[in-house]
Structure 1
Amino acid sequence: MRRSARSVAPRLAAAGTNGARRLLSEGPPPRAVAPSLTPPAADPDDPLANPMARLLEQNKQWAAAMRSSPAMLKRMVQHKPKYLWIGCSDARVPANELLGEGAGEVFVHRNVANLVVSTDVNLMSVIQYAVTALKVSDIIVCGHYDCGGVRAAMRPTDHQPPLENWLRNIRDVVWLHRDTVMQIEDLEARYRKLVEVNTMQQSLNVFKTGAVQRARVASRMDPTSKHTLPRVHAVVYDPLEGELKPLSVDYKKLLKEQETVYQLYQLPEHARKQ
């Protein structure tokens, strides 16, 4: 391919007569070779070389076991979970296993630090679908000790967006409950307390959603309903113990205090269940 005179001229002028002869005899400089996009061949003896192969093989084994179980097949035919689980994305907190429930029993949503944020369209859609379409009877908000999200929010560090935007919700919980949390001098004890307080606050946020309030109003007005549904529960999981710890939350008192701001529906007194 011929090079344009305009591109060669500056190099010839700078090189002088002898240098110009050398440049002309050498021809154009070699072009840089782009790195190959083809990945190197996988080592069959390296378990990390192709993790999907192992996962797919394990799936085949699971599928075979499922097909051999009539009870499992029956559960898979329909999707009618009784519970909505709002938990942390932490890999140590698998909802179905913690509750001892099989497939199809728990509708699950997970995010960093099990937050219930009104601007999170994903979670708000999950809650709406759970209470209006699936008719779940109970919503479980589960926090856990050794939560990286809660621990990160305790540090005066900018974790950079979008993570920092998300953790800001936990910082707001710290401020809201500063008299309870910040008076604890031991940092680890303070952290564990924040895990509990955050879980409690997120369970209260569930009550503030319009979808849950509408469902509870409909339940209260239903003469055949023995309970106001869905019920909301706050629990904390300890990865070292394997047990769920129910938090003692006086929802009736707290909701009464906040109803002038957050209650979207009013009921006649006779329609209220105790």
Structure 2
Amino acid sequence: MCAKNIEKDNRQETITYDSLLQGNKDWVATTLNEDPAFFDRLAAGQNPPVLWIGCSDSRVPANQITNTLPGDIFVHRNIANVVTHTDMNLLSVLDYSVNVLKVKHVIVCGHYGCGGVNAALGDKQVGLIDNWLRNIKDVYRIHDRELDTIKDQARKFDRLVELNAIEGAANIMSTSIVQNAWAAGQELSVHAWVYSLKTGLISDMKVSASSAADISPVYKMKANK
């Protein structure tokens, strides 16, 4: 076993129930030492400009990889950052973010090396999650002509990660929540990003939309009067 793996294993072994609580106390002490009013500001309310829809993967913390603070990003995470129109949890988060918090950006962020996307590429049963991952297989079906031409499996994996984020953003754009906000003149943009675990860098997929004019006509809805 290499030194890096040993160091990683030792760190994980030191993370215990009690160490988490102690870690919280240490963080509070350090934070107050640097900024005595930090928690007073947090307790006063939140006004985040961004809703982040990302993967539950423990290696992709929204605040840390964007160098932002608590209160800057409203976060929803699920396995493989899937966006579907039947997920009431996600839709509730989106509705609250857009209509109450008035966020200016909604970002669907996938990540290379995503285990959920990789599982969706295969045919092995995993369990209940197979039904969730079916949504990613639908992304493959939509883009099968492109994906089937990619012979390198690693590149195909990466491209499906990208397309999953892009389709997720498109699904956000087509919701009545976002379209009603646009119709009301609200400042709101939707984006698709992909994060690299190997480099720590985020890639913009360049599929942003800031009005209904940016989406496919088939998804456009007339606003309620």
The match for 1:72 is: 38
The match for 1:264 is: 221
Q: Secondary structure at the match of 2:76?
A: strand
Instruction: Determine which of 37, 56, 62 is the counterpart of 1:95.
Output: 62
Report deviation, 1:234.
Answer: 0.7
Report deviation, 1:67.
Answer: 3.0
The match for 2:173 is: 207
Report deviation, 1:99.
Answer: 1.0
The match for 1:167 is: 133
The match for 1:192 is: 158
d(CA) in 1 for partners of 2:69 and 2:213?
33
Does residue 141 in structure 1 map to residue 108 in structure 2?
A: yes
Consecutive unaligned residues of structure 1, counting only runs of 5 or more, are 1-46, 220-227, 268-274
Percent of aligned pairs with the same amino acid: 40
Report deviation, 1:249.
Answer: 2.2
Task: Note the 1:1-274 alignment, pairs <5 A.
Answer: 51-68=16-33, 69-70=35-36, 72-76=38-42, 77-161=44-128, 163-219=129-185, 229-249=187-207, 251=209, 258-260=216-218, 262-265=219-222
d(CA) in 1 for partners of 2:90 and 2:214?
25
Report deviation, 1:156.
Answer: 1.5
d(CA) in 1 for partners of 2:40 and 2:103?
19
Cα offsets for 1:36-83 (capped at 9, x unmatched): xxxxxxxxxxx8598111100010111222333135235413211110
d(CA) in 2 for partners of 1:255 and 1:103?
33
TM-score, normalization by structure 1: 0.71
d(CA) in 2 for partners of 1:203 and 1:94?
19
d(CA) in 1 for partners of 2:208 and 2:180?
21
Report deviation, 1:230.
Answer: 1.3
d(CA) in 1 for partners of 2:214 and 2:203?
25
TM-score, normalization by structure 2: 0.86
For residues 240 and 264 of structure 1, do their structure 2 counterparts lie closer, same or farther at Cα, with a shift above 3 Å needed?
A: same
What is the aligned length?
Answer: 211
Q: Contact (CA 8 Å) 2:105, 2:191: kept in 1 or not?
A: yes
Consecutive unaligned residues of structure 2, counting only runs of 5 or more, are 1-11
d(CA) in 2 for partners of 1:157 and 1:141?
27
The match for 1:25 is: none
Larger Rg: 1
d(CA) in 2 for partners of 1:58 and 1:251?
40
Letter in 1 for 2:204: P
Report deviation, 1:244.
Answer: 0.5
